[in-house]
Amino acid sequence: MIIKINEYSDVPIYLQIRNQIVMGISSGELSAGEQLPTVRALSMEIGINTMTVSKAYQILKSEGYIMTDRKNGARVRTEINQTKSLSNVNKEELKRIVSEAKISGLSKGEFDKIINEMWGK
């Protein structure tokens, strides 16, 4: 999986890394048990500070997406706890996206089509 950083984004780099790894897990691009690059390797690959990558990995670990240990590094968890709900932060982000879609004139049907494409039907 290739991590792409947008230096001009308002989203902090550590969150961009976190988000792309979560999307990689969701899409199947990253499979259960798959080894992630070391903090040092990923930071060198994308040209950022190791502390930034470390922060992203810490968040992913606390959210239950990855597991880490000194011997094996970071790996995608083989079993991710399915809460079957969205966090309040994600609900607010979704509310913002829906609001922007409505303001732009997108119909509910058109919005549903986009969601279905992203969900993978």
Burial class (CB in 10 A: 0-12, 13-18, 19+), 42: buried
Burial class (CB in 10 A: 0-12, 13-18, 19+), 25: buried
The token pair at 81 is 């706890």
pTM (2 d.p.):
0.84
The token pair at 17 is 């890394």
CB 30 within 8 A of CB 78: no
Q: Which amino acid is at 106?
A: L
The candidate with the shortest Cα–Cα distance to 59, out of 110, 12, 8, 111, is 12
Secondary structure letter of residue 43 according to DSSP: H
User: Within 13 A of 72's CA, how many CA atoms are on the CB side?
Assistant: 11
pLDDT one digit per residue (tens) for the chain, 121 residues: 889 999 999 999 999 999 999 999 999 999 999 999 999 999 999 999 999 999 999 999 999 999 998 888 899 999 888 888 888 888 999 999 999 999 999 999 999 999 999 888 5
pLDDT value of position 121: 54
The candidate with the shortest Cα–Cα distance to 54, out of 35, 78, 73, 28, is 73
pLDDT value of position 105: 95
